[in-house]
Amino acid sequence: MPVNELIYMDYSATTPTDERVIEAMLPYWREGWGNPSSSHQFGQNAKMGLETARRTLANLLGASPAEIVFTGSGSEADNLALRGVMLKARESGRGNHLIISPIEHEAINHTAHQLADKMGFELTVLPVDQYGMVRPADLKSAIRPETVLVSIMAANNEIGTQQPITELGQICHDNQVLFHTDAVQAAQYVDWNLAESPIDLLSLAPHKFYGPKGVGILYIRNGTPIISTMTGGGQENGQRAGTVNVPFAVGAAKAFELVSEDREASNKKLQELRDYLIERVLGLFPADQVQLTGHPTQRMPHHASFAIKNIPGGDLVMHLDLLGIAASSGSACSSGNPIPSPVLQAIGLDDQWNAGGLRISLGKHSSISDIDRLIEQLPNALESLKQFSSVLYG
Ligand SMILES: Cc1ncc(COP(=O)(O)O)c(C=O)c1O
């Protein structure tokens, strides 16, 4: 199928880079390619671009420029937050306990488990409710005198649920515990005012908001005890060694500026499309065959996710792709051998339902007609999946 006839409904995986972002980055390959740590004019030109990008991001986030650290990805920002804070706490004898939720992205989940399994830190994984919400009372009772850090994602990539971040962060602050949120999915939908919020560390990934891949951002509140986990030169205020990728930093700032300008109107448009999509998908199946996963209202405006009874999400996504629609399943699946999704398990779905959901995530190029085409093709994809399975497995 020609690429221009394909429909992209996987904006939570990544987004197309905005032309204006590409234009903003180009001069930093062509002219401003110096090393921003060099003191000569080539370096200073690059440094000017880098520091302007840092200031732009800081202003938009309600932070100060010194609180913005560029990393190589959202995952790296998450790694730095958890490992950097926990190792610093160990060094200064301030405690050894970390709290996360069971539906964190692997960048948090695997890092937290490595800290526990290989480095002797204590880890508590909080439960979530049927919508994937962390209950503030559970967080309160999990905090102990030796708790250093709580990391709860702002919004879940698989089921779209947005957490009550301010309330959770406030509980942490009331107990002198640091609070990190992985905002990689939620960044562009929220009006952050970090100076006034109880968030100490926040991770972003520009490729989720029409910026470049291969760059991440970690906000670190001034005074937060943390050590660098990427050691080497003293770049990024000593928080992350390595010559900074100036074009990507510039692109990150431009992308965030663009989504921030348009936030209200875009959220409204996406939410209308999302609600139409949810209604149409739920209307396609009998009520005992399909369910919306994640919170019905406290969810990202562009995100709809479903579990379909006894249908492995990964296989369905493959058949949709053959019909020209790019969607996603939340879990790693191989045909006929679906691996249960830990997120769907955490919200209490049993084996009939947890073989990977169907995630449809919308973006600025999405339209009603894309959704209508999905609704038209979804029964065909299911039919071809059933035929495929019966040929393979009898
Ligand atoms: C919630 C969440 N955290 C972290 C990441 C990792 O970001 P990156 O791909 O920039 O490493 C992702 C990517 O999908 C994500 O959805």
- How many angstroms separate the alpha carbon of residue 372 from the centre of ligand 1? 29
pLDDT value, residue 252: 98
Instruction: Read off φ and ψ for residue 72, nearest 5 degrees.
Output: -90, -5
Please tell me the residue having the least CA distance from ligand 1 atom 8: 74
User: Chunked in runs of 10, what are the mean pLDDT values of the chain (394 residues)?
Assistant: 87 98 98 96 98 98 98 98 98 96 97 98 98 98 98 97 98 98 98 97 98 98 97 94 98 98 97 98 92 97 95 90 92 57 93 87 97 95 80 58
- How many angstroms separate the alpha carbon of residue 155 from the centre of ligand 1? 11
Please tell me the residue having the least CA distance from ligand 1 atom 7: 74
Residue 159: closest CA among 365, 375, 328: 328
The CA radius of gyration of the chain, in Å to the nearest whole number, is 22
Q: Does domain 263-393 have CATH number 3.90.1150.10?
A: yes
Q: Where are the domains of the chain?
A: 19-261, 263-393
Distance CA 4, CA 296 (A): 32
Distance CA 117, CA 205 (A): 27
CATH class of the structural domain 19-261: alpha beta
Q: 75, 76, 190, 303: which to mutate for ligand 1, most atoms within 8 A of CB?
A: 75
For residue 62, how many other CB atoms are within 10 A of its CB?
A: 15
Model confidence pLDDT, tens digit, residues 344-394: 999 999 988 887 789 999 999 999 999 999 999 999 888 888 787 766 555
Model confidence pLDDT, tens digit, residues 206-252: 999 999 999 999 999 999 999 999 999 999 999 999 999 999 999 99
Pocket of ligand 1 (CB under 6 A): 73-75, 78, 105, 107, 153, 157, 182, 184-185, 205, 216
Angle between helices 246-261 and 263-284 (to 10 degrees): 80
Question: Which amino acid, residue 371?
Answer: I
Report the catalytic residues: 333
Query: From the alpha carbon of 13, which atom of ligand 1 is closest?
Result: 14
Please tell me the residue having the least CA distance from ligand 1 atom 14: 13
- How many angstroms separate the alpha carbon of residue 216 from the centre of ligand 1? 9
Q: Which tokens belong to 3?
A: 């690429």
Helices (H), 62-162: 74-91, 106-119, 136-142
- How many angstroms separate the alpha carbon of residue 118 from the centre of ligand 1? 23
Please tell me the residue having the least CA distance from ligand 1 atom 9: 74
- How many angstroms separate the alpha carbon of residue 75 from the centre of ligand 1? 6
Which region holds residue 348: left if phi is over 0, alpha if psi is between -120 and 50, else beta? left
Residue 306: closest CA among 325, 331, 281: 281
Per CATH, 19-261 and 263-393 having the same topology is answered: no
Distance CA 196, CA 310 (A): 46
